[in-house]
């Protein structure tokens, strides 16, 4: 389900980069889900409509960041919305992430904790120190610094992947070190963050 | 109100780095505001309570990112919440940003557009290309790529400041270029993003 490459000491990928797949027929299930989510019947879904439809394992709606991130990944014409074909791809993508997440959430609590996150990231090819894992959790779980929910997990993994990819492109000799100018740094930083 | 330094080609700062000021007496106005925002009467405000109390010029609540960012800046003990003293500092901070924003929102529309954003950033010491300004607006205004609201403006400016500061610390000789290893890059990226 996810690659396990390890290039030059930094990591690989999680669920396949679905954007780029050609449109296929939309299944009736997906069409029905789309119609429910598309509250204003515009034929397009924006991040707010998506947020209204996605609940994490803790009974809360997916975060704004997660919804904007996911819409942005499938919104090819950059209108801030997706149509039913793009939605079908997003649907598959979310289900892939749910499967990854459930695989690590062994007690089906709806969240994963430090050791489970470390394991998940290691499977994706990242070897981070325990301090870095703690830091990642504290960034997601602002109040208790203990656990992350599925939407936070998606945001975290996609962010790590994007920054890794941006780094890798610049690290042509796989040295694990890059030289980067200010504007390039800033544009990578803002482009990859959610 | 904001500095206008320009070090080695990259920018300065916006509203003063309020965190770090000693607690002072809390004004009755602020106390009253705090009591209204603190819905669960816990004596502490989290980002969700703050979001419920802040409306931007377009009649929408401040974004999740903006509220998390601002709580995070004044939450010294990293509990994800702030008390009334920290809230007073946040209150001042938000008002400073509102004043900066209003200064550029000349028609009082509640949002600023491309040329106004360029001007605001230039006053803060940043000289960005028109393409970069367009990119910044498109990142904030996902659907129309035209304008940004006050909460988006705060997020954008704080992000730019943080990344600039992280860059500057590593650019000891003020060359406008840094050499950075993967883990450091990733931790800066995740730490400074919202």
Read off the pLDDT of each residue in B5-18 and give the average, rounded to a whole number: 44
Contact B132 A187 (CB under 8 A): yes
Q: How confident is the model at residue B105 (pLDDT cuts 50, 70, 90)?
A: very high
| Complex confidence, ipTM | 0.78
3-state secondary structure of B54: coil
What's the gap in Å between the CA of A91 and the closest CA on chain B? 21
Is residue B67 predicted with pLDDT exceeding 80? yes
- With CA atoms as reference, report the closest residue to A89 among A66, A62, A69, A71: A71
Residues of A in contact with B70 (CB under 8 A): none
Read off the pLDDT of each residue in A151-161 and give the average, rounded to a whole number: 93
Q: Do A64 and A47 touch, CB atoms closer than 8 A?
A: yes
What's the gap in Å between the CA of B139 and the closest CA on chain A? 8
- The count of other CB atoms within 10 Å of the CB of residue A115 is 11
Read off the pLDDT of each residue in A34-40 and give the average, rounded to a whole number: 94
Q: Which residue from B78, B80, B185 is facing A163, i.e. has the nearest CB? A: B185
3-state secondary structure of B164: helix
Map tokens 């027929």 to a residue: A25
Poorest-pLDDT segment among A19-33, A72-86, A149-163, B97-111: A19-33
- What is the pLDDT at residue A2? 30
Residues of B in contact with A9 (CB under 8 A): 182
Q: At what angle do helices B150-170 and B64-74 cross, to 10 degrees?
A: 50
Residues of B in contact with A178 (CB under 8 A): 179-180, 185
Is residue B3 predicted with pLDDT exceeding 50? no
Neighbour-count burial of A184, counting CB atoms closer than 10 A to its CB (0-12 exposed, 13-18 middle, 19+ buried): middle
CB pairs under 8 A between A and B: 123
- With CA atoms as reference, report the closest residue to A185 among B15, B10, B121: B10
Q: Which two tokens stand for residue A26?
A: 């939309």
Q: What is B28-192's CATH number?
A: 1.10.238.10
Q: Do B154 and B57 touch, CB atoms closer than 8 A?
A: no
Contact B178 A185 (CB under 8 A): yes
Contact B159 A79 (CB under 8 A): no
Q: Do B137 and B114 touch, CB atoms closer than 8 A?
A: yes
pLDDT in tens, B20-56: 444 458 999 999 999 999 999 999 999 999 999 999 9
Cα gap A40→A109, rounded to integer Å: 34
Contact A132 B183 (CB under 8 A): yes
Contact B182 A9 (CB under 8 A): yes
Cα gap A91→A30, rounded to integer Å: 8
In SS3 terms, chain A reads as CECCCCECCECCCCECCCCCCCCCCCCHHHHHHHHHHCCCCCCCEEHHHHHHHCECCCCCECCHHHHHHHHHHHCCCCCCEECHHHHHHHHHHHHHHHHHHHHHCCCCCCEEEHHHHHHHHHHCCCCCCHHHHHHHHHHHCCCCCCEEEHHHHHHHHHHHHHHHHHHHHHCCCCCCEEEEEHHHHHHHHHHHCC
Contact B167 A182 (CB under 8 A): yes
Read off the pLDDT of each residue in A22-28 and give the average, rounded to a whole number: 71
Is residue A114 predicted with pLDDT exceeding 50? yes
Residues of B in contact with A145 (CB under 8 A): 78
Residues of A in contact with B148 (CB under 8 A): none
Q: How confident is the model at residue A142 (pLDDT cuts 50, 70, 90)?
A: confident
Is residue B80 predicted with pLDDT exceeding 80? yes
Residues of A in contact with B136 (CB under 8 A): 190
Best mutation site among A185, A187, A188 for testing chain B: the one with the most B CBs within 10 Å?
A185
CA-to-CA dists, residue A178 to A109, A169, A175, A185, B183, angstroms: 40, 10, 8, 11, 11
- Percent of all residues in chain A with a pLDDT value above 90, rounded to a whole number: 70
Q: How confident is the model at residue A11 (pLDDT cuts 50, 70, 90)?
A: very low
- The count of other CB atoms within 10 Å of the CB of residue B27 is 11
């Amino acid at each position: 389900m996810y690659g396990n490459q390890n290039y030059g000491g930094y990591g690989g990928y999680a669920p396949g980069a679905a954007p780029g797949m050609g449109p296929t027929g939309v299944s009736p299930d997906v069409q029905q889900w789309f119609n429910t989510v598309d509250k204003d019947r515009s034929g397009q879904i924006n991040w707010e409509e998506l947020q209204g439809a996605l609940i994490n394992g803790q009974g809360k709606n997916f975060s704004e960041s997660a919804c904007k991130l996911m819409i942005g990944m499938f919104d090819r014409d950059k209108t801030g919305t997706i149509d039913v074909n793009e939605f079908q791809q997003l649907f598959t993508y979310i289900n892939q992430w749910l499967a990854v997440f459930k695989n690590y959430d062994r007690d089906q609590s709806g969240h994963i904790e430090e050791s489970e996150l470390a394991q998940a990231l290691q499977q994706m090819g990242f070897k981070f120190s325990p301090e870095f894992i703690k830091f990642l959790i504290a960034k997601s779980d602002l109040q208790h610094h203990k656990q992350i929910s599925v939407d936070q997990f998606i945001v975290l993994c996609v962010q790590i992947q994007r920054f890794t990819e941006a780094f890798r492109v610049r690290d042509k000799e796989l040295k694990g070190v890059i030289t980067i100018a200010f504007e390039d740094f800033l544009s990578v930083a803002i482009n990859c963050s959610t």
